[in-house]
Amino acid sequence: MFQTPGASGQTAWNRAVRDVHSAMAAHLGGEDMITTPEVLLIRRISVFEAELRLMEEQIALDRQRKVEPSEKFIDLYSRIVNSQRRLLETVGMKRIPRDVTPTLTEYLQHKAADE
């Protein structure tokens, strides 16, 4: 499980990072199936998602106050979205099902227990 360095894990940002990391790991077949490079990419995707959520919240608050987000802010938002999309393309958009086929030993043990 991904731990955010130097953070207590109690903030919405940390929860978002953890939740996205868990969802991405499951998407790729589970924590025990992902490679170290995939873990690194998932970490970046998770952090980008947490940041994008904060930025979207700020945009919504600005709109409520009838304030237009700055061009610089929207540019940064777009660049993060595109960076995240490229990372998602790298890890793959298609879900990888978890293999639940029992090993031969597990199958035989289960078969013996049923008899």
pLDDT for position 9: 63
Which DSSP string do the residues of 12-25 spell out, in sequence order?
HHHHHHHHHHHHHH
Choose among 34, 29, 93: nearest CA to 2: 34
pLDDT at 5: 57
**Where in the chain are the domains?**
12-114
The predicted-structure confidence for 17-47, as pLDDT tens digits, reads as follows 999 999 999 988 889 889 999 999 999 999 9
97 has pLDDT over 90: no
